[in-house]
Structures are given as C-alpha cells and as structure tokens.
Structure 1
Amino acid sequence: MLAQQQKLQFSAFSGLYALIVPKDNLLRKISELIDFAFIYEELLDKYCLNNGRMAESPVRMFKYLLLKTIYTISDVDVVERSMYDMSFKYFLDMSPEEAVINPSSLTKFRKLRLKDADLLNLLIGKTVSLAIEKDIIKSRSIIVDATHSLSRSNPYSALEVLRERSKLLRKAVYSIDEDMKGRMPEKNASGELADELAYCKELEKLIESDQALCLIPAVKQKLNLLKEIVEDTQENYTLSKDRDARTGHKSVDSKFFGYKTHLAMTEERIITAAVVTSGEKGDGPELPILLKISQDNGIQVDTVIGDSAYSGKENLKLKDKSDQNINIVAKLNPSITQGFRKDEDRFDYNKAADMFVCPAGHIAIRKARQGEKNVGKNQVDTYYFDVEKCKICSLKDSCYKTGAKTKSYSVSIKSSLHKGQMAFQQTEYYREKASHRYKIEAKNSELKNVHGYGRAISNGITNMQMQGALAIFTVNLKRILKLTT
C-alpha cells in the first residue's frame, strides 16, 4: 500500500537542519533546485494504493539511489551513512530521529518498481526542461559522442573478481595495521571458485572480529563491496555471464567487453539525450535518434558537432532535409563517407581503429587501397578479416564462403561525393563549432571517474540504462547548480 509519503516529516528536532546543514551544501542545493514529486507520479501505478503493508515512499527510495550515484558507495554504506549524516537525512526528508530502511529494500525497489520505467529519458527530460526553464541553454548546437562502460562480469571471471576485491580489502587493512599480515587466513591457491568463496568468508569473519578496525571507513567500504560480490556469486555462481554485453573496439589493439552510451550535449554541457547499446555498435547510426530525443526534450538544433564517426552519408543528408537543415560539424573520412556499399547495415566502421567490424563483432586485421588516385576514377578500400575466425564463426553461413582463403570487405570512395561538406569544413563557422567538441570528452570523464560509470554495477542492458539514468541526472543537476550560482 502507498500513501502520500513524500510530505515533510514534522519533528521537534527538525530545527537542527538549519544549524547543521550549510546553505551551500550540495544536497541542500539539489533539494531546493528540483521537486522530486514527479518520481511519485511516475511510479504510482507500480504500487497498490489500498491493500497490504505501508510501503516506503518511492521518492525517498529514489533519493537513496541518487545518493549512491553522487558519492559512489554501496547499498549498505548509503543506508548506514543516512543514520548519522544530517545532510543525508535532510535530503531524504527524514526527521533527525527517524529510522532508516534495510539495505535489501533498495534491491527490491530497483527490481520491482523501476524495472519497466523509462528512467533514462524521464530523468534527462526533467533536467533539460529545468535548464530551459532557468534560461540556461542559449546555444542551438548539440555535441555527440559515445563512451564505453565495462561489463560487470568482464574482463574477470568470478574467481578473479573475488581475488581482486579481497586484495583491495587486505590493502586497506594493511594501511591501518601492518601487523594484521600475520593474522590473515592463508590465500586460496587453487583455481576452484568454491575454495575462493570459502577464503573470502574467512577473511570477512576475521576483519569483522576486530570491531575497531572494521569501523574505519576505508576498511568498511572495501569489506561491504566484498560482501556484495560474495553474495552475488553465491546466487548466480558466476559473474562472467552478461548476455547483453558485447565486445567493442577502442583501437586496433584495444578492445573492451561491455556497453556504449551514446550522448548528446549542449554547448552549456547539459546532456539532452542518451542511448545505451551493447559495445559493438557503431557511433554514427545513433545520431538520428539522439537528435530526435534532444528535439523532443525542447532543444532547438541547427548544428551537430562530433568526430569523424558521425560524417556518414545518412547523417550528412540531414543538411538537405527541409524539416531539419542540420549542419554536421564532423571531419570527413573516406571510409565512412562513400556512396553505396554492400551490407552497409551489417558492417560498422570503428573510428578509433580505422577499421570495419563484421556482424559477429570481429575487427579487420588490415586494409589496402586499390585504384588510381585520379579525378573521375573510383578507388576502393579493402578490409581483410582473420579467416581462421570466419571458419568457426556462428554467422559463417551468411558471411563466409566455405574453403575461401581470405575474407574481405570493400568500400568504394568517390572523390567528388562530398564537395559541399569539404567546402563547409573550410569555413570559420565550422572551425568555431568544432572547437567545442572537447567538452563532451570532459563530461565522459566526469561520468566515469566521479560517478563510477566506467563499469556496470549490475548485469544486463536494463540495469545499465538505470545506472546511466542516475549518473546523467546527477551530472546535469550539478551543472545546472553551477550555472545558476
């Protein structure tokens, strides 16, 4: 059962907040900036309104998740900190003496209440409308890029994840008390997951037996993270299975297993749209949907700023559409700005590696250009793939001819195809707009390094979207606060 629980809790001790929580406190400023009642309205149909036990306010539960993202801490730590941190209690609309929730309630809230909610578009749309309301957004340009997030289950097996977390815990303990080295349980030398689980439990038991040590924040946070991994491993027995994640390429020699988040952002550094895909997807094909979401959120766009991955033929056509007339400030690349090519919807260009990726996610190993470089004649770039991989590929029936010694993919290059765009690249307007592209790189860095977006905290693309929604909501609120003060 759910009641209107987002109302302020009145208490004889509420006056403490005015004394203890400073006016410039981040959480106080966020509370004053935005009304979180929209969360209650969005999730109302997820609750029974007239039957069952009284549920915790969805607004408060959402705020718990937001605190996790702002401070990059675990479920256990965010609940515990809300016991004594008055700024947390103020943000959560709790009276100073009010009891906190059980950490397990956050897991249930994510799975039962947020499972089918389009949280990503809801939260981005809310912050964009807030920025427009406060007259922050002056530009008519969006900057686009994609950032990658590693899957929770990769590149380590469950055994390796447990070893890494136990190592970090031991390191935190030794920084406090080096004498603990002699008391530590013997490390697991076998390759068995069950033995490593037993070792981690023994390590947990030892640390928890020292009450003074396990209450030190640096140790306690590492201990709680290890506990979460142990619990998850016991439930699923492996952390190496993430069915939605895929292998993507950052360069010829560098790859990752996980997801991509495709972002659009104004020159004022307000994120206006985001799309989460598996890691192998190309950047360029996501531009039209990023543009549409940004426009649906109220952003007027006449220019798109991006790298060469966005200079594909279909994106450049936005300039000629009467209802769009969008300038594409993206450097031309002959590998992706050619005319018709076979299977163009199946082979994706990877800008960092300057290679094409086949439908199975394998990147080309070399390329060669053929034909004379003369006006009026077409040249061809041919990309060669590792034929040994093709022989055992699950998609070989539709892609590889049995017995072939090579597998290649050719792209024709027409020298006169993009004269208009080449001329546009020489203009002062193009150069001025291109100078803003660095801003989205800095935003990607903030998401990853400050708010933990470099790695997924749960398996599955739905959970990745939820993580992205909270991270982007956080950085947008912080940016709005900075621009309004």
Structure 2
Amino acid sequence: IKSKSIIVDATHTKARYNQMTPREILMDRSKKLRKAIYQIDESMKNKFPVKNTTDVLEDEIAYCQELIDVIEKEETLIEYPKVKEQLNLLKETVTDDIEHLQSSDDMDAKVGHKTADTSFFGYKTHIAMSEERIITAATVTTGEKNDGKQLESLIEKSIKAGLKVETVIGDAAYSEKSNIEFTKENNINLVAKLNPSVTQGFRKKEDEFEFNKDAGMYVCKAGHMAIRKARQGKKGIAANQVDTYYFDVEKCKNCPFKDGCYKEGAKSKTYSVTIKSNIHTEQEQFQGSDYFKEKSKERYKIEAKNSELKHRHVYNVAKSSGLVGMQLQGAMAIFTVNLKRILKLIDQR
C-alpha cells in the first residue's frame, strides 16, 4: 500500500427477519391462507369468521383458530397442496407460544433511512479503504446510526492497522463540525463537501438529533425522521439563517424519550439548526482547490467495493440475527474481499 489516503462510506444490510410483531405474523399468514382458498373457491368468503379488528394478540390468535376450524371441515379443499401448506403454517404459528414468535424478530436491528422516502430494517457497516482498494477498517452498527459519527474510529483503526493517513475522502455526511476539527488537529486533509445542515454542534441536544445525509433530514434519538423542513431568515444579512425541522407530533406523544424533549399538549415538535456562514471558511477554500477536486474522483472506488460485498458475497442480507452475528458476517466478508484483492495485487507486481 503506497497511498496515504482512506476512502470512507457506509453500506446497509437488511435484517434476516422482518420487523413484525407476533400479531402481524399471524395476520400475514392468515391472509395468505385465505388468498390461496379464494383462488379455488371464492364462495368460502361467506363461511369465514369476521376478521379481528383489535390490536390484542389473543384476539388475533382466537380469530386464526376459528379460521382453521372452518377450513378443516372442508375436506376437499384442504387436499390442495397450496392450501395445505398455508394451513399447516398458520396452525404451527398459532400453537407456538408468544415467546417463540418473538424470537423470530431481530431485536438488535433498527430502522435506517436511505432517502427521505425509503428506509430499511437492519444494520450499517462503516468502511475505510485505501486507494489500492484494501479495506483498512470497519465498524458494524445498527441501522439508525449516523455515518459521520464513525469517522474518528475508522481513522484510528486504519492508523493502528499500519496505514499512514494524510487524507480522508468521503461524502457530505462526514463534513460535520467535529470531523473537520478532528482532522485539522491531526493534520489530515478532509475531502468531504460541506453541507450547511451537517454543521452540528450549535444545540445542547446535538447527541439526540443526527443528520441523515441521504434523506436530507434530521433523525431523533428514537429513530423518527423529520417530516419536513423550512429555512428561516434571509441570506447575506447580519442575522444567521436557521433550518427548522418538523417532526410527527403523534409519534412524539407516545415516544419513550419524550421527557425533556416533547412538552405534553404541544401541537408541534421542531429542531432548529443555525447556519453560520463563517464557521467553515478554511474548509470552503480547501473545497475549491485542485487537490480536493482530484482526490474526490477516488470516491467511486468504495461504492464499487460495497457493490462487490453485497452482490458477490451476499452482504445485502444478514445471515443471522443480532449485532454480534452481523459483526462476524462482516469480518468474514471483508477478510474475503481483502484476500482476493491482495492476491490480485501480488499478481500485478
């Protein structure tokens, strides 16, 4: 490895199990059973019990048991393979206890956001890679974690692994204030474009609200994303502009972290970020340099590496549940792609 730069990015991995409650699992399986029967005999609709409309698990179990009793009386119908399969699956689910049903969920996985409109349920792997495409550091976190917060760890791990780091290349998620300060203190060039909304550090609750660069919105401690934002103030005048982010107050009312964050009875919940035009003067000047522009061209390499991990080494879906299992899967996948790359570099010598 001759380069003294690392390229940083994060890739998401979906949890092996869906984010479904025991009641939702029962609803899904009873729905599939009814659908299989309707394809054979639509008149069965009139014989089925009334669907459960409550959120109580016991009521859903009772409905499913009634549905099973009705279907099992139809001897001809249950001889069809697709009906028998769905019927047996529902029966197994009903007879399983609640604890067993809940074990099918991945308790460590969390909801993360890829864009303002799309989300995923699972984990994130934060990666640092040399320009020679060797992964030098990685951190596996739950899906809701902010990319920028992992930069210091990735740099420190890369240095500990033996790499001399003079430049870090990343996207706007890594240009928050704390990262600029850290890299400057350590004489490292940060090649990451500034985003006025990523300049965290102007509110006391900065650890409770983190910026998601893909969605362009802030996410609260509970993992809820802002539903809209508005900019207040005029550009170029003495007073600084403010970006105000609005959250779904209905979610705030039932949030376990509402104490000290949401005032009971309030009709809105907002989080504001002051945009200070002079806070990143040096970084803005560096951003316009030829060195910055040239190094920015190297960032595509890590996107290709993420694609290799996902499509050639099945890193798009977790093989087991739990953060430890995801860390083991990440270690093996990264070891494999590094070994392949090392062998290829040896052949080129």
Residues 444/197 of structure 1: CA separation in 2 closer, same or farther (3 Å cut): farther
Residue 290 in 1 paired to residue 154 in 2? Answer: yes
**Aligned residue number for residue 252 of structure 1:** 116
Work out the CA distance in 2 between the residues paired with 1:316 and 1:475.
30
The secondary structure found in structure 2 opposite 1:335 is helix
Q: Which amino acid aligns with 1:481?
A: L
* Residue pairs, 1:120-199, within 5 angstroms: 137-155=1-19, 184=81, 186-189=83-86, 193-195=90-92
Residue 366 in 1 paired to residue 263 in 2? Answer: no
Residue 342 in 1 paired to residue 224 in 2? Answer: no
Work out the CA distance in 2 between the residues paired with 1:307 and 1:431.
13
Please point out which of 385, 392, 396 is paired with 2:254: 392
Work out the CA distance in 1 between the residues paired with 2:4 and 2:178.
21
Q: Which amino acid aligns with 1:332?
A: L
Runs of 5+ consecutive residues of structure 1 not aligned to the other structure: 1-136, 165-181, 199-232
C-alpha contact 1:158 1:240 (8 A) present in aligned 2 = no
Residues 405/144 of structure 1: CA separation in 2 closer, same or farther (3 Å cut): same
Deviation at 1:185, TM superposition (A): 5.5
Residues 287/454 of structure 1: CA separation in 2 closer, same or farther (3 Å cut): same
Please point out which of 302, 322, 347 is paired with 1:460: 322
Work out the CA distance in 1 between the residues paired with 2:100 and 2:236.
60
Work out the CA distance in 1 between the residues paired with 2:250 and 2:87.
33
**Aligned residue number for residue 351 of structure 1:** 213
Work out the CA distance in 2 between the residues paired with 1:457 and 1:328.
35
The secondary structure found in structure 2 opposite 1:362 is coil
C-alpha contact 2:183 2:189 (8 A) present in aligned 1 = yes
Q: Which amino acid aligns with 1:241?
A: D
* Residue pairs, 1:29-428, within 5 angstroms: 137-155=1-19, 184=81, 186-189=83-86, 193-195=90-92, 236-238=100-102, 240-321=104-185, 324-337=186-199, 339-428=201-290
**Aligned residue number for residue 178 of structure 1:** none
**Aligned residue number for residue 291 of structure 2:** 429
The secondary structure found in structure 1 opposite 2:197 is coil
Q: Which amino acid aligns with 1:255?
A: S
Runs of 5+ consecutive residues of structure 2 not aligned to the other structure: 33-78
The secondary structure found in structure 2 opposite 1:397 is coil
Residues 477/195 of structure 1: CA separation in 2 closer, same or farther (3 Å cut): same
Work out the CA distance in 2 between the residues paired with 1:444 and 1:191.
40
Work out the CA distance in 1 between the residues paired with 2:7 and 2:314.
22
Deviation at 1:280, TM superposition (A): 0.6
Work out the CA distance in 2 between the residues paired with 1:371 and 1:304.
34
The secondary structure found in structure 2 opposite 1:468 is helix
The alignment of Structure 1 onto Structure 2 pairs a total of residues equal to 295
C-alpha contact 2:19 2:105 (8 A) present in aligned 1 = no
The secondary structure found in structure 2 opposite 1:470 is helix
**Aligned residue number for residue 308 of structure 2:** 446
**Aligned residue number for residue 83 of structure 1:** none
C-alpha contact 1:259 1:279 (8 A) present in aligned 2 = yes
C-alpha contact 2:246 2:270 (8 A) present in aligned 1 = yes
Q: Which amino acid aligns with 1:280?
A: E
Work out the CA distance in 2 between the residues paired with 1:367 and 1:281.
21
Q: Greater share of strand residues, 1 or 2?
A: 2
Deviation at 1:404, TM superposition (A): 0.2
C-alpha contact 1:188 1:195 (8 A) present in aligned 2 = no
Work out the CA distance in 2 between the residues paired with 1:403 and 1:397.
13
C-alpha contact 2:175 2:195 (8 A) present in aligned 1 = yes
Q: Which amino acid aligns with 1:365?
A: I
Residues 236/450 of structure 1: CA separation in 2 closer, same or farther (3 Å cut): farther
C-alpha contact 1:282 1:348 (8 A) present in aligned 2 = yes
The secondary structure found in structure 2 opposite 1:380 is strand
Deviation at 1:243, TM superposition (A): 1.6
Work out the CA distance in 2 between the residues paired with 1:375 and 1:425.
24
Residues 315/345 of structure 1: CA separation in 2 closer, same or farther (3 Å cut): same
Work out the CA distance in 1 between the residues paired with 2:93 and 2:254.
34
Work out the CA distance in 1 between the residues paired with 2:106 and 2:9.
24
Deviation at 1:341, TM superposition (A): 2.0
What CA deviation, in whole Å up to 9, does each residue of 1:437-477 have, x standing for no partner?
Answer: 11111111111111111111111100110000000000000
Residues 194/457 of structure 1: CA separation in 2 closer, same or farther (3 Å cut): farther
TM-score by structure 1 length? 0.57
Residues 441/239 of structure 1: CA separation in 2 closer, same or farther (3 Å cut): farther
Q: Which amino acid aligns with 1:285?
A: K
What CA deviation, in whole Å up to 9, does each residue of 1:66-124 have, x standing for no partner?
Answer: xxxxxxxxxxxxxxxxxxxxxxxxxxxxxxxxxxxxxxxxxxxxxxxxxxxxxxxxxxx
**Aligned residue number for residue 472 of structure 1:** 334
Q: Which amino acid aligns with 1:413?
A: I
Deviation at 1:419, TM superposition (A): 1.1
What CA deviation, in whole Å up to 9, does each residue of 1:302-353 have, x standing for no partner?
Answer: 10000000000010013431xx101110010000125522311111100010
